[in-house]
Structure 1
Amino acid sequence: MMFEVPTTIRAANALHAERSMAALDTRLGGEHMPRRPQWDCQACEQDWPCDPARVRLAEEFEANRVNLAMYVGGLLDVAVAELPTADTADLYESSCPGPDDRNEVAPPPAGVRGRIILRN
């Protein structure tokens, strides 16, 4: 199978967004999917990503926060294109991975550098 190589940044971003959307059903197990083009959750009708979708994506990517950020960035590209009147700053803040206020940040054990996120 031959893949077309994008020749512009816009084409590369579009391809990344398309692939992110295509993988979403698998990553979320078909639950708490976004209703498009409104971008609210089909299951709980909250703005997407809803809390269950955030938890599922965080579990799916586990410790690889960089890949999670890149993946969610692809979804954000799609949401921005489908919600042209929405405030992009609000979309960014609601979709980008970050510490969840239900998680506690614990100090590292002796001899360990960094922070540990504890899940409820």
Structure 2
Amino acid sequence: MNTQQIAERLVALCREGQYEQVYDELFADDAENIEMPAMANGPLGNAKGLDAIRAKGKAWGEAVEQVHGGSVGEPSVSGNWFSVPMSLDVTMKGQGRMQMEEMCLYQVRDGKIVREQFFYDA
């Protein structure tokens, strides 16, 4: 798949809530996940390698008490990069309800996502 096809597939799967399938189909084994600097450490911080990214996703899911809604925007593609705006209305365990908005940036190499980076107000 080329970058446009990967971007479109990621958006479709995220809209369906099929996050494990996103990892199975689209991510390279050595992919890296990068958070904002204030959030880079800890169990929900930066992750390197698909197993670490999956573990982070699992930890995130376990921290969520309830999902009230969210959205996944259209991808914008430039060369081997694409971005997708996403939002989430969620109640986190012990933290209450919050509205989250972020820009997700992805890098593609050899038909797989090798880097994802999230931009949001921390």
Q: Give yes or no for TM over 0.5.
A: no
| Bin of the TM-score, shorter chain as denominator length | under 0.3
Structure-1-length-normalised TM-score: 0.25
Task: Compare relative contact order (CA 8 Å, sep 6+) and give the higher one, 1 or 2.
Answer: 2
Structure-2-length-normalised TM-score: 0.25
More strand by share: 2
More helix by share: 1
